[in-house]
């Protein structure tokens, strides 16, 4: 059982005009076995939250705390966060030139577990996970994210998640740019990870569509750098019907 605790998090980003404050007091607790959806309009700071949890150097934590089972996440390097069991799938995954998918996965697995995976099991696990995500085996020899389509990038992220078995997974707009079939395949992957282990999922999305496939226990509406409203799955249904207008009208 793991718990990620975000307390009164304030974050600013460096811009040409100086530091711009984006997150303005985020409170959120995600425990293993739970799925939390963060929804909100464009520009509300959802990706900034993901980048801040990932330890992206551009984002400065000005106050607040983030802990994983009591350990100070903000004091950890990016690698240490991964070893502690945090997995982050970014909205815009980066290319890793010259590194194949299969090498990348094996290196990441070795770094996180502290030892190389037993080769026979590993090869089988990778093959099974790729089959389930309907990925061509040849994909394993391609360089990470180089020339990947939007859908391939997202499948690759879920492939990582399935193989690395995180304690807390943060998925930023894993649904964006996917057609209905790809969305279903990617969602099934997330649901397999949820069913197979004690993972806490933080699902960041602008649209309610993915929530038909991955059922959230809690829904948080993000507006203007903080959580404006919280509820259960019914809140997502309400947002689907009403959009974000009522939040934007009051936040102006």
Residue 174 makes contact with Mg ion by CB under 5 A: no
Residue 40 makes contact with ligand ADP by CB under 6 A: yes
CA angle 240, 232, 168 (to 5 degrees): 105
Stretches 12-20, 93-101, 129-137, 190-198: which one binds ligand ADP (CB under 6 A)?
Answer: 12-20
Residue 47 makes contact with Mg ion by CB under 5 A: yes
Stretches 47-55, 96-104, 140-148, 190-198: which one binds Mg ion (CB under 5 A)?
Answer: 47-55
Closer residue to ligand ADP, CB minimum distance, 15 or 115: 15
Residue 42 makes contact with ligand ADP by CB under 6 A: yes
**Which run of H or E residues covers position 97?**
strand 96-100
Residue 15 makes contact with Mg ion by CB under 5 A: no
> Which are the contacts of 198, defined by CB distance < 8 A and separation ≥ 6?
1, 2, 32, 33, 167
Instruction: Print the binding letters for residues 71-110 with Mg ion: x by CB under 5 A, - otherwise.
Output: --------------------x-------------------
Instruction: Print the binding letters for residues 17-46 with Mg ion: x by CB under 5 A, - otherwise.
Output: -------------------------x---x
**Which run of H or E residues covers position 53?**
helix 46-54
Stretches 37-45, 128-136, 146-154, 192-200: which one binds ligand ADP (CB under 6 A)?
Answer: 37-45
Residue 197 makes contact with ligand ADP by CB under 6 A: no
CA dist 211 → 36, 202, 203, 206, 229 (Å): 10, 12, 9, 11, 17
Residues 117, 103: Cα–Cα separation, whole Å: 12
Residue 196 makes contact with ligand ADP by CB under 6 A: no
Residue 153's Cβ-count burial label (10 Å; 0-12, 13-18, 19+) is buried
Closer residue to Mg ion, CB minimum distance, 60 or 91: 91
Sheet containing strand 18-31, edge to edge, reads 18-31, 3-15, 59-68, 71-72
Residue 93 makes contact with ligand ADP by CB under 6 A: no
Residues 182, 64: Cα–Cα separation, whole Å: 37
Which of 5, 13, 132, 238 is close enough to bind ligand ADP by CB under 6 A?
13
Question: Could you tell which of Mg ion, ligand ADP, none binds residue 40, using a CB distance below 5 to 8 A set by kind?
Answer: ligand ADP
Residue 205 makes contact with Mg ion by CB under 5 A: no
Residues 124, 148, 205, 48, CA torsion sign: positive
Binding residues vs ligand ADP (CB under 6 A): 13, 15, 20, 22, 40, 42-48, 58
């Amino acid at each position: 059982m793991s718990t990620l605790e975000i307390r009164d998090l304030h974050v600013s980003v460096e811009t040409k005009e100086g530091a711009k404050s984006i997150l303005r007091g985020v409170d959120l607790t995600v425990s293993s076995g739970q799925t939390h959806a963060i929804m909100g309009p464009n520009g509300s700071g959802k990706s900034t939250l993901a980048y801040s949890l990932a330890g992206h150097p551009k984002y400065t934590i000005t106050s607040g705390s983030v802990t994983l089972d009591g350990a100070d996440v903000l004091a950890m390097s990016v690698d240490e966060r991964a070893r502690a069991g945090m997995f982050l799938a970014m909205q815009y995954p980066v290319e890793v030139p010259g590194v194949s998918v299969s090498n990348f996965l094996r290196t990441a697995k070795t770094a996180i577990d502290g030892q190389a995976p037993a080769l026979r099991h590993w090869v089988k696990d990778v093959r099974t996970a790729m089959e389930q995500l309907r990925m061509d085996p040849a994909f394993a020899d391609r360089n990470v994210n180089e020339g990947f389509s939007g859908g391939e990038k997202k499948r690759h992220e879920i492939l990582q998640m399935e193989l690395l078995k995180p304690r807390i997974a943060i998925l930023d707009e894993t649904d964006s740019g996917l057609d209905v079939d790809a969305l279903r395949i990617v969602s099934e992957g997330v649901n397999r990870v949820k069913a197979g282990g004690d993972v806490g999922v933080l699902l960041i999305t602008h649209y309610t569509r993915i929530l038909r496939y991955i059922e959230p226990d809690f829904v948080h509406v993000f507006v203007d750098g903080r959580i404006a409203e919280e509820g259960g799955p019914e809140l997502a249904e309400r947002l689907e019907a009403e959009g974000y207008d009522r939040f934007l009208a009051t936040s102006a």
